[in-house]
Homo-oligomer: A and B are copies of this chain.
Amino acid sequence: MYRSHNCGELRSSDITKEVTLSGWVQVSREFGGLTFVDLRDRYGITQLVFNMEDNEALCTQARSLGREFVIKIVGTVRERSNKNPNRPTGDIEIEVSALEILNPSKVPPFTIEEESDGGDELRMQYRYLDLRRGPLQRNIKFRSKLALETRKYLDSQDFIEVETPFLIKSTPEGARDFVVPSRMNEGQFYALPQSPQTFKQILMVGGIDKYFQIVKCFRDEDLRADRQPEFTQIDCEMSYITRDQILATFEGLTVHLFKELKGIELAPFPHMSYDEALERYGSDKPDLRFDMEFIYLNEQMQGHGFNVFDGAETVVGIVAKGIADSYSNKDMKGLTEWMQRPQIGAKGLVYVKYQGDGSIKSTVGKFYSDDVLSTIGTQIGAEKGDVLFVLSGEEEKTRKQLNELRLEMGRRLDLIKEGDFKPLWVIDFPLLEWDEVSERFHAMHHPFTSPKKEDVERMLTGDHATMKALRADAYDLVINGSEIGGGSIRIHDRELQQRNFDLLGFTKEEAQAQFGFLMDAFEYGAPPHGGIAFGFDRLAAVLNGQSSIRDFIAFPKNNQGRDMMIDAPSPIDEEQLKELSISLNIQE
């Protein structure tokens, strides 16, 4: 037996008990004739004490212990003279009578404490050491609880968890597939699923009625920061269901998870159309933890001789409160340059300072008198001390730029309260996006998304302009500006699905080869259905107010898609290639 108790459970009530503990040496300290060792396991830390006077051999052995040695001790629980109120076991310590080194340890390449001194790559290489640290232990445990609570809730709502296959068929639309050569079917490949989309729809045709799965998905994309080639989603689908029933179900799930896991009560989630979100915040995932809504200023600011504004489709601004006097010219210049970086691409940044002393200072003073600017200030509710920032240009682009400025000012002005959560359903997305470069439509959500009921007839018969205006029965859940998930009511009719594939530029043959099984299934009594998927890694991070999903994944890959610890991917044997009937084709 390695332990009678773990390192987190002994209390005053256990004093005088003889116990056996095992764990890692967190730290060892000497005080005169005494040696104190903090013994750590997943459950906590318990102080061990060795006394040179009582047992010299044992104490000498204890002094040889290095950090992260794995030991087993037998000893007696006793009251601690110098209690540690910050530690659940802080009232007791163990007077050790026997010590066994189960495994020594080399000196770890970084400290295994709350804050480590190790860099990202080093910690990924020695992930087994990083995982011993408190923050990762808590995150990994949280993730496990999050999955279990999700399952319990969905089970209570009659959902069935169904495992869909990982070895499926490549459908090279959307992101790239990872493919798997088949040895038994020469020259053929499986693909790893980008999502179980078609299978969950097939399950609806199969009468499963309410499906969910917490499932790995795979996308071979060029990795941006905080994207992973394999990621996890909570994947759901329901039959005989309306959009509002789906939103209510998954709002219920979200409310439950915040309550159970974080003790947070969320208010009912507002709904906002895609158009409204873009108009008011310049984003389809607005962060509603602070206001700073967009103010359209075409009327007030055009026709004053300022050519930049006069020629612009859109003149739009936001008001930043209380910084007119504290933001220097240099600050303003810095902010302008920040907006002009290629990632944002603003040409410039116009501002109007409504200063504390009542004076007005502006980059466009030449064109607008103080009176005009003052009137505008009154109209838009700017007060003394506020700054109005204004951008202009093509509507879509300008809104995007102003969204970036709004988020940046929210951060700079500390408008985001820690522990504040503002969920939002964004609804009524466009069905199709026209891509000028490829001269074809792309599905805004995916090719299986249904247009809204009132748009079905127009979709079947309408012209090009009509297609651009179609609305999808699609929705996203946004929390604090992060997209947690999204979904849609699906097409369940062969003709409409075929029409969608036509619009997306599939030939009849391509559509049949890739998705024929689904369209065939639609002809055998497919029920109306819809669903949603939540990004599980993202949800775990957002629930904890954190921004990096990597800290919630036990074994993440780096930005080159590599597992630094096992050093994968890697070359494989010639023999393996031969069996798979493929050869390498490397550009020298």
- Chain A residues with CB under 8 Å of chain B are 1-3, 22-24, 40-43, 68-70, 72, 102-106, 108, 126-132, 137, 140-141, 143-145, 147-148, 151-152, 155, 160-170, 172, 176-192, 198-199, 202-203, 205-210, 216, 218, 220, 222-223, 229-230, 232, 240-242, 245, 492-493, 513, 517, 521-528, 553-555, 557, 560-563, 565-573, 575-587
Contact = CB atoms under 8 A, between A and B. Distances in A.
A104 B522 CA distance: 9
A22 B177 CA distance: 37
Contact of A568 (B131, B169, B229, B586): B169
Nearest to A149: B155
Given A166-B216, A188-B571, A568-B167, A523 B106 contact: yes
B585 A167 contact: no
A250 to B, nearest CB: 18
A240 B73 CA distance: 12
A581 B584 contact: yes
B527 A22 contact: yes
A122 to B, nearest CB: 13
Contacts of A68: 524-525
A146 to B, nearest CB: 10
A103 B202 contact: no
A169 B569 CA distance: 6
Contacts of A575: 172
A192 B180 contact: yes
A42 B525 contact: no
Closest CB pairs A-B (n = 5) = A131-B206, A105-B525, A2-B240, A169-B568, A188-B569
Contact of A172 (B127, B208, B563, B573): B573
Given A2-B242, A203-B131, A103 B230 contact: no
Contacts of A582: 181, 582-585
Contact of A572 (B127, B172, B199): B172
A202 B128 contact: yes
A563 B160 contact: no
B168 A568 contact: yes
A570 B130 CA distance: 41
A586 B583 CA distance: 10
Contact of A222 (B22, B184, B222): B184
Given A517-B567, A521-B128, A524-B128, A144 B166 contact: no
B527 A230 contact: no
Given A2-B242, A131-B206, 14 more contacts: A41-B240, A68-B525, A103-B492, A103-B522, A165-B557, A166-B166, A167-B230, A169-B563, A176-B579, A188-B570, A190-B569, A199-B555, A578-B585, A582-B582
A41 B207 contact: yes
A205 B128 contact: yes
A223 B69 CA distance: 46
A564 to B, nearest CB: 9
Contacts of A144: 155, 160-162
A29 to B, nearest CB: 19
Contacts of A179: 180-181, 572, 576, 580
Given A69-B525, A209-B41, A524-B106, A581 B571 contact: no
Contacts of A572: 170, 172, 179, 189, 191
B170 A570 contact: yes
A513 B94 CA distance: 43
Nearest to A67: B525
Contacts of A205: 128
Contacts of A161: 144, 147-148
A555 B563 CA distance: 30
Contact of A131 (B105, B106, B208, B586): B208
Given A148-B152, A525-B104, A554-B162, A168 B565 contact: no
A471 to B, nearest CB: 21
A364 to B, nearest CB: 47
B576 A585 contact: no
Contacts of A522: 103
A158 to B, nearest CB: 8
Contacts of A166: 166, 192, 216, 218, 230
30 contacts: A2-B528, A3-B240, A24-B207, A43-B209, A70-B525, A103-B492, A104-B525, A105-B524, A106-B523, A128-B202, A128-B203, A128-B205, A131-B203, A131-B208, A132-B207, A147-B161, A148-B155, A148-B161, A166-B192, A167-B229, A169-B568, A170-B576, A176-B183, A177-B576, A178-B180, A179-B572, A184-B560, A189-B572, A517-B567, A583-B585
Contacts of A191: 568, 572
Nearest to A25: B525
A524 B126 contact: yes
Given A41-B209, A189-B569, A232 B163 contact: yes
Contact of A583 (B523, B553, B583): B583
Given A102-B527, A162-B144, A216-B163, A168 B566 contact: yes
